[in-house]
Amino acid sequence: MDFRETDEQRLLRSSVARMAAGYGHDYLLAKVRAGEKTTELWAEAAEAGYLGLAVPTEYGGGGAGMVELSIVAEEIAAAGCPLLLIVVSPAIAATVIATAGTAEQRERWLPGFATGRTRMSFAITEPDAGSNSHRISTTARRGPDGRSWLLSGHKYYISGVDETDATLVVARLADAPGDGHVAGALRPAMFIVPAGTPGMTYQPIDMAITSPERQFTVFFDDALLPDDALVGGAEAGLTALFAGLNPERITVAAYSNGLARYALRKGTEYARSRNVWGAPIGSHQAIAHPLAQAHIEVELARLATMRAAWLYDAGDHTAAGEAANIAKYAAAEAAIHAVDASVQTHGGNGMSVEYGVGTLLGAVRTARIAPVSREMILNYIAQHTLGLPRSY
């Protein structure tokens, strides 16, 4: 196993970093203050082909994998202007449709993902379900004509619904009498719900996070969908759902790694330039050691992330499941520690918006919770890796 990047991957990393440096954290903060989206950054990344890297070549994409998409997510975040929609649109939605979608769904949606023109949200979380997906209550049932679907229920903490073309919704199929399934059994399914679908509404959630991407509660009141809105057909539910979970965790880890690198860069620059008591504050171990420790943790998290992406691209999805959870856990913890060390290095200035590190606190803290909590990852590792009894 060789984790040295290829010449093409190194070129990709440097090219994305150079592009993202033209935007930076001040650009992100200006967009947040103005209530605007990072439209220009998304458009330039799309034009360069970065957002469609993992889409199969037959649909106009780059034909690469999660390794390359992780590089894109990390380097944009490392410039201080992360794009959360990389996680939900190219990583989750495009992968689900490419892996589990019908031929018609792939033809319809993947060319747009390849160019970055198409953006899709992902909706799984519900207020009364949380991490327990078996309690999902959003339900799809057949319409009166037998050729359509009626979707009812609501979702919680759904990113970017106000700026995407459609939402990929995880629901359960209502069992009809005589269809051969146990009544009331969970039959997960995924539906593509275009923006503006009658019966779909949403309202923003006021968040304590500095981000241009907003979070929403989404309501479905007998939202009418065509038959081909069901991803992959009635029996493709688990296949379709699992297709997006590992890419989600891998790109969230990359996103966290990038933010951690940005915070460490700001902290070390300040430690070298801030002169108190006749010497730079970085000459004191009380400042230097937390930054050094955070750097070690970030580098370990980056290794874990690349390993998870490599396993996924190699098709070893069993190993990738464990590795993706480990990477997401490690990256979230490393990012929290890196931002905390950088804020502490800055002293009072760390909480000033001008210095651009305190504004990261909400984003990195959220990665410990979403898309899966730290505790659920520990449950997964305890049960599936260590063979311990299930605890929940």
Q: Residue 234: pLDDT band by 50, 70, 90 thresholds?
A: confident
Q: What is the pLDDT of residues 303-318, one digit of tens each?
A: 999 999 999 999 998 9
What do you get for the CA distance between the two ends of the chain, in Å? 36
How many other C-beta atoms are found inside a 10 Å radius of the C-beta of residue 158?
23
Residues 6+ apart with CB under 8 A from 34: none
And the tokens for 79? 């410039």
The pLDDT value given to residue 186: 58
In percent, how much of the chain has pLDDT > 90?
Answer: 88
What pLDDT sits at residue 1?
A: 63
* Of 167, 158, 152, 136, nearest in space to 204 by CA: 158
Q: Quick one: fold of 239-385? A: Butyryl-CoA Dehydrogenase, subunit A; domain 3 (1.20.140)
Note the pTM of the prediction, 2 decimals.
0.95
Confidence of residue 392 (pLDDT cuts 50, 70, 90): confident
Q: According to the model, what pLDDT value does residue 58 have? A: 98
- Phi first, then psi, for residue 158 (nearest 5°) are -105, 125
CATH 2.40.110.10 range(s) for the chain read 122-234
Residues 6+ apart with CB under 8 A from 75: 13, 16, 17, 20, 258
Which band of pLDDT confidence, cut at 50, 70 and 90, is reported for residue 177?
very low
Does position 129 have pLDDT exceeding 90, yes or no?
no
Tens digits of per-residue pLDDT, 54-75? 999 999 999 999 999 999 999 9
- Quickly state the pLDDT bin for 35 (edges 50, 70, 90): very high
Query: pLDDT band at 243, cuts 50/70/90?
Result: confident
Q: What is the CATH number of domain 122-234?
A: 2.40.110.10
pLDDT score of 162 = 97
Percentage of residues of the chain with pLDDT beyond 70? 97
Average pLDDT over residues 259-267: 98
- Architecture of domain 7-119 in this structure: Orthogonal Bundle (1.10)
- The pLDDT assigned to 185 comes to 55
CB 180 within 8 A of CB 146: no
Residue extent(s) of CATH 1.20.140.10 domains in the chain = 239-385
Q: Which residue has the tokens 């469609």?
A: 52
Q: Is the pLDDT of residue 178 over 70?
A: no
Mean pLDDT in residue range 106-121: 98
The residue-averaged pLDDT of 362-381 equals 96
